[in-house]
Structure 1
Amino acid sequence: MLKGFKEFILRGNVIELAVAVVIGAAFTAVVNSIVANLINPLIGAIFRADSLDDALVVTIPSLYGEGAQIKFGAVIGAILTFVIVAAVVYFVFVLPMNTLKERAEAKRKTGVPDPEAPESELTLLAEIRDLLAAERAERTPRSDR
């Protein structure tokens, strides 16, 4: 039972997931800080409010005392946070990874072998097959002569 648990914990994808969660938490703190300390004050200055949570507040009268408040500024702040997170994820992670992947594919298509990647058995077998086919074609007499 402990052996199975050890194998589960040491699996590559479990460790990768744990790293992703930790990095995600740290990344969230950075993005929240940018929004709270940079974006909110800038937009709050435009709307004359301390933060977006206090901007564009509409009070709806109520029959039972205090009215309900609709906080459009808080919604705008959440949308900005989403857009900032999406932009940072795209420009910091997705775009560079796609660029690296395209370069690797272009290198592979031009026939330049990747020095770090060993040849696979399938590649070697395909080369042997092609060599045998070429040798067989040279030995076979042509009937059109």
Structure 2
Amino acid sequence: MSEKQEPSIWQGFKAFLMRGNVVDLAVAVVIGAAFTNIVNAVVKGIINPLVGAVGTQNLDHYSSCLSSSCKGDQGIQLMWGSVLGATLSFVITAAVVYFLMVLPMAKYLARMEARRKDREEKGPEATPEVIEVTELEVLKEIRNALVAQRGSGHDAR
């Protein structure tokens, strides 16, 4: 009796990497990183100046002091401006992803589902019949057509 050999670590790692979802995840991470630059530019170029019309353009300067004096590194400061900037960045990213990716894809999938249900309601006669023909069957048909053509127009030798 032969024992089944367990796959090596490298074979398992290769199988893991070749899965489709790993590649999809890698693409998503790269696109997400590139998209982060766009969102940061929007926040720094548009959102911060709008906020700066009321106060400062750099949200990192917004803070509150919890101790009696906050000079330099002295005292306890709450840097809520940084949190506000990160929150705005997140909201903008989520809105762009939703409106430019999720919503159009959901509408597309809903249309495809409606078409599928529509075809099912009309019955099998409404859907065109798909006939699978093998290569051998096609070659036999070509041969028969050539034999018939040779037999009808030419003398047999």
Q: TM-score, normalised by structure 1?
A: 0.66
**Alignment-mate amino acid for residue 66 of structure 2:** I
Q: Does 1:86 align with 2:94?
A: yes
Q: Residue 79 of structure 2 corresponds to which residue in structure 1?
A: 71
Instruction: Flag structure 1 segments of 5+ consecutive residues without an equivalent.
Output: 120-145
Cα distance in 2 between the residues matched to 1:110 and 1:75: 50
Cα deviation digits, residues 29-76 of structure 1 (max 9, x gap): 2112211222112212221x1311113x22233589822222332222
Cα distance in 2 between the residues matched to 1:34 and 1:88: 11
Q: Residue 51 of structure 2 corresponds to which residue in structure 1?
A: 43
Q: Does 1:16 align with 2:24?
A: yes
RMSD over aligned Cα, in angstroms?
A: 2.9
Q: Among residues 54, 60, 63, which one is paired with 2:61 in the alignment?
A: 54
Contact 1:108 1:114 survives alignment (8 Å): no
Give the 3 Å change call, closer, same or farther, for CA 67–19 of structure 1 in structure 2: same
Question: How far is 1:88 from its partner?
Answer: 0.9
Cα distance in 2 between the residues matched to 1:78 and 1:72: 10
Instruction: Flag structure 2 segments of 5+ consecutive residues without an equivalent.
Output: 1-7, 121-125, 132-157
Q: Does 1:25 align with 2:36?
A: no
Q: Identity of aligned pairs, percent?
A: 50
Structure with more strand by fraction? 1
